[in-house]
Amino acid sequence: MRRIHAHGKAILFGEHAVVYGHPALALGIEDAVVARAVRPTAGRLGISVPGWGLDADQDSPGTVGEALRRLAALLPGDAGCEVEAEASIPMGAGLGSSAALAVLMVRAVAEARGAALDDDRVRAAANELEKVFHGNPSGLDGTVATFGGLCLFRKAPWDGDAPSGVPLRLLAPNVLRVAWPAPPLVIGHSGVRRSTASMVARVGRLREADPTRVDGLFATMGTCLWKGLDALGRGDHAGLGKAMNACQEALAALSLSCPEIDRMMDLALAAGALGAKLTGGGGGGCVLALAPGREQDVLEAFRRGGFDAFLVGVHGPTVEGKG
Ligand code: PMV
């Protein structure tokens, strides 16, 4: 069997702002979901991820069943398959689990049906499935789940206005691969589950009430991204950490933090992190901490505080399993 896999993602800068056309910088968590077995069926599509307690087929109620029905109609052919997969990221924690699931299913069904899809078509199909999970996603999650690595993404194509001085490769019209390696990050899970769609809706309401303030915060987040990218290129970890902290402040001003995330920020910084921020939809989910050389201290601080934590390389494998 050809290896079928999909990446998770950690958004370094630009969550929520990306929904309104601003750029985002995200890194892939390699092999977040990997197919262990793909069994052919007469036509039915099914997926099980035991680590997530997920076992669904296209007749199942709920969003996974609906996504499978949509996928059955989306790709050419009618062969089916049942996929059994292993996950190394938690579900519903802002690490792109649903997009990884979507990419995995698209790749598995394309294989079962003998449809040759390049990565751009894989992500387009996965983004259709993401609409079932998230309503109106920016497309960032499906993009990173497909391509992995460090991706500079926005909704509109990069058109002569890509940043200069950064080694970039165009992966798709609106996706640039940044060739710089990023340092390992500690990821802590607040344990609070939240729906991305409801957090996106919350920001939408804030923006309706006060567009000037919210657009100003999005602009601040954009400044953090460019400063962070520049610091990354210079190997300036302190500068990158500072940009992450500033981005977290803007996210908190959008009411996207929560007491658990605030506590994790304190734990990370007290344990030697140079910067930390929530990642993804917010309101819960995960915190990213940048702590070069102090990763173990931050991991332990999170765990002592009662939070699951693990370490990821930028697009290398999970260094240590889910805590
Ligand atoms: O919570 P996640 O991992 O699904 O990330 C959501 C990212 C947002 O920018 C908030 C929404 C989007 O569609 O990009």
Taking the centre of ligand 1 as the mean of its atom positions, its distance from the CA of residue 42, in whole angstroms, is: 35
Pocket probe for ligand 1: among 7, 9, 12, 15, the residue whose CB has the most ligand atoms within 8 Å is: 15
Beta strand segments in the chain, E: 5-13, 24-41, 45-49, 54-57, 80-87, 150-153, 168-172, 175-178, 185-189, 275-279, 286-290, 308-312, 318-320
Q: Roughly how many angstroms between the first and final C-alpha of the chain, as a whole number?
A: 30
| Coil, helix or strand at residue 98 | helix
The rounded distance, in Å, linking the Cα atoms of 159 and 178 is 16
pLDDT tens digits, residue range 228-238?
999 999 999 99
Q: Does residue 93 or residue 264 have the better pLDDT?
A: 264
> Which residue ranges form the domains of the chain, and what is each CATH number?
5-150 (3.30.230.10), 185-317 (3.30.70.890)
pLDDT tens digits, residue range 258-285?
999 999 999 999 999 999 999 999 999 9
Q: 0.85 exceeded by the pTM?
A: yes
Q: Does residue 314 or residue 123 have the better pLDDT?
A: 123
Q: Please check the confidence at residue 314 and state whether its pLDDT lies above 70.
A: no
Q: How confident is the model at residue 68 (pLDDT cuts 50, 70, 90)?
A: very high
| Coil, helix or strand at residue 175 | strand
Output the CA torsion sign for 219, 284, 322, 300: positive
Q: Please check the confidence at residue 146 and state whether its pLDDT lies above 90.
A: yes
The rounded distance, in Å, linking the Cα atoms of 197 and 37 is 31
User: Is residue 148 lining ligand 1, measured as CB closer than 6 Å?
Assistant: no
Overall average pLDDT of the 213-218 stretch: 98
User: Is residue 141 lining ligand 1, measured as CB closer than 6 Å?
Assistant: yes
For 297-314, give the DSSP string: HHHHHHHHTT-EEEEE-S
What is the number of the ligand 1 atom nearest to the C-alpha of 136? 13
Q: How confident is the model at residue 161 (pLDDT cuts 50, 70, 90)?
A: confident
The rounded distance, in Å, linking the Cα atoms of 174 and 156 is 6
User: Is residue 260 lining ligand 1, measured as CB closer than 6 Å?
Assistant: no
> Burial letters for 195-230: b for 16+ Cβ neighbours within 10 Å, e otherwise?
ebeebbebbeebbeeeeeebeebbebbbebbebbbb
When computed from its CA atoms, the radius of gyration of the chain, rounded to whole angstroms, is 19
Q: How confident is the model at residue 320 (pLDDT cuts 50, 70, 90)?
A: very low
Taking the centre of ligand 1 as the mean of its atom positions, its distance from the CA of residue 114, in whole angstroms, is: 31
Overall average pLDDT of the 140-158 stretch: 96
Q: Please check the confidence at residue 319 and state whether its pLDDT lies above 90.
A: no
- % of the chain beyond a pLDDT of 70: 96
Residue type, 119: D
Q: How far is CA 1 from the centre of its chain?
A: 27
Residue type, 264: M
Taking the centre of ligand 1 as the mean of its atom positions, its distance from the CA of residue 16, in whole angstroms, is: 6
**Quick one: pLDDT at residue 312?**
85
Do residues 229 and 163 touch, judged by C-beta distance below 8 A? Answer: yes
The rounded distance, in Å, linking the Cα atoms of 229 and 13 is 9
The rounded distance, in Å, linking the Cα atoms of 132 and 155 is 19
